[in-house]
Amino acid sequence: MSGSRDAILGAIRNNHIQGEHPRPAVPLFDQAAPADLKVLFQKSLERMGGKMLIPDAADPMAPVRQAIVKPGPVVSCVPEFEGDMKITPQTKPTDIAPVEYAVLRAAFGVAETGSLCFTEKQLHVNTTGFLPQHLIVLLDPAQIVYNLHNAYQRPEWLQAHYAVFQSGPSATADIEGVLVHGAQGVRSLSVLFQA
């Protein structure tokens, strides 16, 4: 098997065209973009089963604390909120499995789809976006783009080793139409606009 692998990789190396190659130009399709992307983002997020938290000017983290309604480990990947579980360089992906709530900051949001982008910088451990039961996400409204065409122009795709979009909680429905949240991922996803 090692010989086959070496042959395949050798063929790729020998046939690789050297030099800089610009990415193809992709139209942005944003002629219909609304002036206020926050409104469209909220509608799209809620359509996907997510929830917007109401900001509190006096105590910015009050909505996050109020969203934590069940006991269980809370991991925080943001300096604004202290969780009771710390992620360290020794944290393994499976260590996130018992987490009830994860508090994260999204790299950016996509208004048209209600999606949030996370990279390894926001997640610290890639499974932080999937294994907790509930995600509470801080999103800077200035970091909302209109659509996925604009999203793929973001620098995260060139700088990050890992990036993922999430749009609301995980859901699946059986043949009788019974909808189950959290079947393959988080059971709830809440977003708080915070610069």
pLDDT by residue (tens digit) across 114-135?
999 999 999 999 999 999 999 9
Are 51 and 189 contacting, i.e. CB atoms less than 8 angstroms apart?
yes
The CA-CA-CA angle for residues 154, 39, 163, to 5°, reads 25
pLDDT band at 165 (very low <50, low <70, confident <90, very high): very high
Instruction: Report the alpha-carbon distance of residue 67 to residue 7 in Å, rounded.
Output: 54
Comparing 86 with 122, the larger pLDDT belongs to 122
Provide the whole-model pTM: 0.85
Compute the mean pLDDT over every residue in the chain, rounded to the nearest whole number: 92
Considering only 116-125, 142-151, 173-182, which range has the smallest mean pLDDT?
A: 173-182
First to last CA, the chain: 52
Collapse the DSSP code of 90 into the 3-class scheme (helix H, G, I; strand E, B; otherwise coil) and give the result: coil
Two tokens, residue 36: 């206020």
User: What average pLDDT score do residues 147-165 get?
Assistant: 93
pLDDT confidence of residue 147: 96
pLDDT digits (tens, 9 = 90+) for 37-63: 999 999 999 999 999 999 999 999 999
pLDDT confidence of residue 30: 87
pLDDT band at 176 (very low <50, low <70, confident <90, very high): confident
Are 179 and 48 contacting, i.e. CB atoms less than 8 angstroms apart?
no
Are 104 and 123 contacting, i.e. CB atoms less than 8 angstroms apart?
yes
pLDDT confidence of residue 64: 97
pLDDT band at 179 (very low <50, low <70, confident <90, very high): confident
Percent of the chain at pLDDT above 90?
73
